[in-house]
Structure 1
Amino acid sequence: MIKRYATRRESDHTRYLELNSYRFLRPGWPHSKRFTRRLIGDAATITDAELAALLGFEWRARLTAAWLIGVGRRGAFREHIRGLLLDSEVCYSGRGYCFALARFGTHADAEILTADLNRYLPRTDLRYDQPDALGALLRLDVRLGTHHADRFTQPDSLWDRWVQALVHLSDQPGHSPDEQRRWTDLQCDFADGWTRP
């Protein structure tokens, strides 16, 4: 399963590397059509049992499974993803969980993302998936007409303190809340624009 879904060759990298780098979102990437077609096909054909198994492996398999779940909008995995996101056992996979929750797009998903930010933004010693969680929550707030992210993005908020504590991020405009939402929008809008092969 890992070989078929996570480490499958896509252009000059494996699938999980493409998903982690977001290279497929760049305009003009020459392998975009093939990558997209294969990802959609796998999201449609992978079984729930295979997805659950992938979510039990290391970060590469988990990241890929989360993307397949998000592309297929398999909301039945919401609670499984909730547990994995809040536990934050491995690096990188959380960005896939946040993508899936943004794609599901419900109030329950906003609550999961809020719980994650409440848990991890005060931990300025950690750099998990807070940017992805904030971007997904901001997207959901707009779509749902809610204001869950407001408490995290006000001046001198938990987000500001988290970014300032990570010296290498504090002067980078790419870590603004607007930029985090833009990245989530790019991912979800790209996924929304896909058609079945």
Structure 2
Amino acid sequence: MRHAGTDPELMDLIRRFVTPGRRYMRLGGSSLRLSGPERDLFVRELVQAAGEITPTELGILLEGGWRERKTASWLVAVSGRTEFRNRIGELLLASGGPYQGSLCIALATFGTDADADLLCTYLDRYLPGPDFRWDQTAVFSTLLHLDAALGTERAAPYLAAGGLWQQWSAATPNTVRDPQEYRQIVDQLCSFTGECAELFAGTEPRN
């Protein structure tokens, strides 16, 4: 992991891509509350950043803290850089901090069976135990989203009586959010990302 306090290269990328306009704070659910000119400006600047950042720079941000990873995940999603799929899967499986839902949004935006596989790998590792992780509900809700998009039923075994989701929910009753309700948020975030991706597709070729 790289730390901004001792890494000038990372600090420069944070200045350029993470903190402008408090971007890292407005990505995710906060973006759904934007409207009018404020929303339009945020979208334009996010799309511009997705076009400016290079693959190497994205890789560096993904080695940083949660703010850097969160921002990088969204830039990856907007620009459709599927070459980062495995790296995002690794970070998700490491379950190393808050706001891991941004990693899920990137996988949901890619929207393939390979992305569902990564989500299932996470669930198979972390649902059998009662431990609370940052992202069980986000991961499972994203799998529900991908099932709907792909016409699959990958989530069904987890939801079945005695399935892993049922077991984990029973073991952690105070930490569980309704995955179907959270899935609606995933749907909205993917719609927002799709809007940005359409604008990105009309820009100059990316780095």
> Following the alignment from structure 2 to structure 1, what is the Cα–Cα distance between the partners of residues 178 and 154?
17
Encode CA deviations 1:146-186: one digit per residue, 9 max, x unaligned: 1111112234532233334334345xxxx222112111100
Which runs of 5 or more residues in structure 1 are unaligned? none
The match for 1:16 among 5, 24, 28 is 24
- The structure 1 residue matched to 2:90, chosen from 83, 91, 97, is 83
Give me the whole-angstrom Cα distance separating, in 2, the residues matched to 1:6 and 1:73.
Answer: 19
TM-score w.r.t. the length of structure 2 is: 0.82
Please give the secondary structure, in 2, of the residue aligned with 1:31.
helix
Report the structure number with the largest CA radius of gyration: 2
Q: By how many angstroms is 1:73 displaced? A: 1.2
Structural RMSD (CA): 1.9
Map of 2:10 onto structure 1:
none
Residue-by-residue CA offset, 1:8-48 (whole Å, 9 max, x unaligned)? 22xxxx2111125x111026476211111111111122100
**Alignment counterpart, residue 165 of structure 1, candidates 171, 178, 181:** 171
1:4 aligns with 2:52: no
Q: Residue 87 and residue 127 in structure 1: after superposition, are their counterparts in 2 closer, same or farther (change >3 A)?
A: closer
Q: What does 1:131-142 correspond to in 2, within 5 Å?
A: 131-142=137-148
Corresponding residue SS for 2:131? coil
- How do residues 52-67 of structure 1 correspond to structure 2 at under 5 angstroms? 52-67=59-74
**Correspondences of 1:1-197 after superposition (within 5 Å):** 1-9=13-21, 14-20=22-28, 22-26=29-33, 28=35, 31-92=38-99, 94-169=100-175, 175-194=177-196, 195-196=199-200
Segments of 5+ residues of structure 2 without an aligned counterpart are: 1-12
Asked whether the equivalents of residues 95 and 133 of structure 2 are also in contact (C-alpha less than 8 Å), the reply is no
TM-score when scaled to structure 1? 0.86
Which structure has the higher relative contact order (CA within 8 Å, separation 6+)? Answer: 2
2:143–2:155 Cα contact (<8 Å) kept: yes
Question: How many residue pairs end up in the alignment?
Answer: 187
Give the SS at the match of 2:27.
helix
1:59-110 deviation per Cα after TM superposition (whole angstroms, max 9, x unaligned) = 1101110111011111000111111111112322x21110000000111000
Q: Which amino acid aligns with 1:2?
A: I
